[in-house]
Amino acid sequence: AGEPVVVSARLAVSAAPARLTVGDGRPAEITGWAGPWPVDERWWAPAEARRRARFQVCLADGAALLLAVEGGQWLVEAIYD
């Protein structure tokens, strides 16, 4: 528990996402999630290519977010209200 979620090149998820912490904020419980969905950008141009995976998560407070992971770094791409 408390370990970062890792997504393999074959889109295998190391563990179910359980908590989300944004910046210095408090951890929020993840009550539901879907994904990963692969995103391969500019695959035809190797020097500019990017690969990431997206997830949708629902938090205990009712918020829903779109997350992405690229190169082991997670970011919030959207917040649904």
Instruction: Parse the chain into domains and list their residue ranges.
Output: 19-80
Mean pLDDT across the stretch 41-62? 92
Whether 1 has a pLDDT exceeding 60, the answer reads no
| CA 33 from centroid of its chain's CA atoms | 10
Mean pLDDT across the stretch 37-56? 92
Q: Using a pLDDT cut of 90, give the percent of the chain over it.
A: 73
C-beta neighbour count of 54 within 10 angstroms: 17
Sheet with strand 64-70: strands edge to edge: 19-20, 28-41, 50-59, 64-70, 73-80
Cα–Cα distances (Å) from 13 to 19, 32, 62, 69, 80, in that order, read: 15, 15, 24, 11, 23
Mean pLDDT across the stretch 38-65? 93
Per-residue model confidence as pLDDT tens digits over 10-36? 999 999 999 999 888 899 999 999 999
